Structure 1
């Protein structure tokens, strides 16, 4: 955050900053540095539970950004997130976005076609995205709400969203020998795994393979959360699961417990072994989702597949 702020020039009008934290008090410190005029809270998910303990701890930390807002400034929050329902307007203006009818910016009429999404905002404005996943509609609603706050017109916002491309390792798409690889390996937690599974569920494919590395910083419940993730994967109409890392053995056992056949389950010791297994089982027309925490460096699987 400080490095980004130091790069600002007199010609800049708006600065967008991500305030991240994995320990209590970090959002308060970063907010004092950034001094936001608009604060966005996208969701409350099970990340960094090793330090925040539970979702309530995550929520307490994230909502501290609101303390930095002055009178008349705006807070934009995901109105569909049950952990954020208790947020009330203070000296700041509170706006909510999501799918529920109570939201100020509401998405409806959602349609999907391959790697694209269409939706309508407040029953009037139509938007298109070249992205996977309904969670990206939530993200787009946040962007639309921010744009509106800064008086950016709908036409410019619509064009920007249509032309937006995902960042590297953030549900980005690569095709190798007819196989669609969804590289979502920048990070992973149970919520983002669920979002990624939902994203590929609407994508037509001959077979769907999940490559899952460890989800780190989940605290004492890590093994259980990995097991649940495995159950979720097995219940998501995927063909098979490849895991990597000590904790991901629990993901494998969860998938097995949910009924995924043993012949479609692999636990791999190296990135090379994952790539070799994929080369053996994946065919043209298949889709492969790659997930894992940053420390697992799951993008190496893509590098090995290119070789």
Structure 2
């Protein structure tokens, strides 16, 4: 299938088109990554306007532009000196035009499309499932990085080609109504809800409201569509669905179960019960969340017919997802556990429990930042975090970063040495003298606290993002 002039004209009948449309069309929204022949879509963001980068896109070889009607003269002026063919497509709203193009393009494909959402573990589940597809030699398209918004999903869908056998789309929301919009665009044939927790509460409301929004991923299911949900989560397991559902988790009610779980310093072992079959699974990770990411991925892989032997083999060398409990060596010795991508009460507890499970004689510390978007209950959850630290008795010191963590300090155990920092820069200065070759430090906080900057200051990224052997205890 090709995106040609007729595709543009049929999808955007009210667009004003000047110049010559290309025979094959690719889209770009970032002037820095434009490749020759792309159509640059000038989007207005909160801070920048893509129309200001039309010239930059031309210099990178853009064939033409999708612009708003009021910016047509600006685009004309930039194209006036082009000697070769070019085109300008002006529309009422370039963002809506791009979404409509993606929706139309998606409708042309009859392949499995797996949508993934949840309060915790979307990206890790996506990466695990993609890794299984790699090992099964499947040709697929997957959401890049954290492109899980309406725009991100549209860009991913527009990359689908006739050779692809399936698509894996991450779907994240922060406001009410967003999941229905995403589901209408993506039209998943299978959808996973990894779990429901306390995140984005300012925009989504109570945890019951969050669950309801997440379940809207099934809104446009067809008769043969199948949902995959966390069966350990009552807000997902106790609901009646209009379509078949596969449940995963540790409880016996689930069709895909993890039984006899054993978690040590550097690995997790459990018995996988896949309907009536049983298998041994070994994961080179001590984070309990990895079990649920794995189960959800196994359920999806099973649905599309991946042999269980291939699945089990792939789990022995899972990808390390940047910023999600990612171990990085400190240049001076020891380790930082980079879990700085985001934070919620549930993910904070899981990361701290995983830190406690690490068997080492070395000093353990943590840099914990604010958990954002918890709404009116923010102070409560930060106080709960302080109380929870009693379950991490091996913790020697904590650096609290931000504003809301002042409530965490009030409820912390008295035996933990505590430091306060307003931002990541202050935290760097506080952490520097505490780092020794005999330490392991967990770094976790909401994305806006920017603790990834602290991590990068002390520990370069791991070049190889696949775990192929166990990480030995630091004795």
TM-score by length of 2: 0.61
Report what 1:187 is aligned to: 342
Report what 1:31 is aligned to: 183
Residue 424 of structure 2 contacts residue 449 of structure 2 at CA under 8 Å; is this kept in 1? no
Report what 1:165 is aligned to: 319
Aligned counterpart in structure 2 of residue 137 of structure 1, from 284, 291, 310 = 291
Query: CA-to-partner distance for each residue in 1:13-44, whole Å, 9 max, x for gaps?
Result: 11111111110110000001110111111111
Q: Which runs of 5+ in 1 are unaligned?
A: none
Superposition pairs of residues 240-251 of structure 1, within 5 angstroms: 240-251=397-408
Superposition pairs of residues 281-300 of structure 1, within 5 angstroms: 281-300=434-453
Residue 264 of structure 2 contacts residue 286 of structure 2 at CA under 8 Å; is this kept in 1? no
Q: Is 1:57 the equivalent of 2:213?
A: no
Report what 1:16 is aligned to: 168
Report what 1:275 is aligned to: 428
Report what 2:387 is aligned to: 231
Deviation of residue 306 (structure 1)? 4.4
Deviation of residue 78 (structure 1)? 0.5
Aligned counterpart in structure 2 of residue 2 of structure 1, from 146, 154, 161 = 154
Aligned counterpart in structure 1 of residue 246 of structure 2, from 95, 100, 117 = 95
Query: CA-to-partner distance for each residue in 1:119-172, whole Å, 9 max, x for gaps?
Result: 221172122222331111011000000000000011211122222122111111
Q: Is 1:252 the equivalent of 2:403?
A: no
Report what 2:266 is aligned to: 115
Cα distance between partner residues in 1 of 2:459 and 2:352: 24
Residue 229 of structure 2 contacts residue 237 of structure 2 at CA under 8 Å; is this kept in 1? no
Moved more, 138-147 or 108-117: 108-117
Number of residue equivalences: 302
Residue 363 of structure 2 contacts residue 439 of structure 2 at CA under 8 Å; is this kept in 1? yes
Cα distance between partner residues in 2 of 1:19 and 1:27: 8
Q: Is 1:203 the equivalent of 2:364?
A: no
Query: CA-to-partner distance for each residue in 1:245-299, whole Å, 9 max, x for gaps?
Result: 11111122221xxx3336x010013423322322322333322111111111101
Deviation of residue 212 (structure 1)? 0.8
Residue 234 of structure 1 contacts residue 260 of structure 1 at CA under 8 Å; is this kept in 2? no
Moved more, 233-242 or 185-194: 233-242
Cα distance between partner residues in 2 of 1:58 and 1:288: 32
Deviation of residue 63 (structure 1)? 0.6
Residue 271 of structure 1 contacts residue 304 of structure 1 at CA under 8 Å; is this kept in 2? no
Residue 200 of structure 2 contacts residue 374 of structure 2 at CA under 8 Å; is this kept in 1? yes
Aligned counterpart in structure 2 of residue 178 of structure 1, from 333, 342, 350 = 333
TM-score by length of 1: 0.93
Deviation of residue 178 (structure 1)? 2.9
State the SS of the aligned residue for 1:114.
Answer: coil
Cα distance between partner residues in 1 of 2:397 and 2:434: 10
State the SS of the aligned residue for 1:188.
Answer: coil
Residue 211 of structure 1 contacts residue 291 of structure 1 at CA under 8 Å; is this kept in 2? yes
Q: Which runs of 5+ in 2 are unaligned?
A: 1-152, 461-475
